[in-house]
Structure 1
Amino acid sequence: MARIPFCVQCGTRQNPCHCKVVGPTLGVVAFIIAAVVEWPVGAVVWCFRHAKGRRIMAHPDRVVYPRVSSAIPF
């Protein structure tokens, strides 16, 4: 039997039950997709411009995951 992985965030004030499942789970999926694309690009850019490469590699963690996770209140 295959298990479906999911993420749970409790203690949030975005909905009456104070737990989120859909938003964080989709946030992790979006994070992985963005990371697969942006981390190799960031590594190449980092060879020439360190600060820019770090910003590119941090983008999935600092921008993609929080926006997707907070956009869905369930």
Structure 2
Amino acid sequence: MLSGGMPFCVQCGTRDNPCRCKIVGPTLGFLAFCVAALVEWPVGALVWCFRHAKGRRIMGHPVTHVFPCVSNAIPF
């Protein structure tokens, strides 16, 4: 969701903090996802031409590893 030009993500229903709502973690996770995707998707597309499974893993890395790690590291 965009709010004033800055990406802003909210995750409600979590048990990580007393408010049961996370804003900073998911927002920073989304920004880290975007930076990783800018690098890894072109590289993954190039690798995919020769090794399909490896290219898919590279292109999926921002979704499967970067976003969850950053989002879960910050409890609020």
TM-score clears 0.5: yes
Q: Which runs of 4+ in 1 moved over 3 A?
A: none
Tell me the equivalent position of 2:50: 48
Note the C-alpha offset of 1:5.
2.9
Same amino acid, percent of matched pairs: 74
Partner of 1:36: 38
- Relative to its length, the structure with more strand (as a share) is 2
Equivalent residue, structure 2, for 1:72 = 74
**Letter of the structure 1 residue corresponding to residue 37 of structure 2:** A
Instruction: Provide structure 1 residue ranges, at least 5 long, that are not aligned to the other structure.
Output: none
How does the TM-score come out when normalised to structure 1?
0.96
Gap runs ≥5 in structure 2: none
In 2, Cα distance between the equivalents of 1:67 and 1:52? 21
The corresponding residue for 2:25 is 23
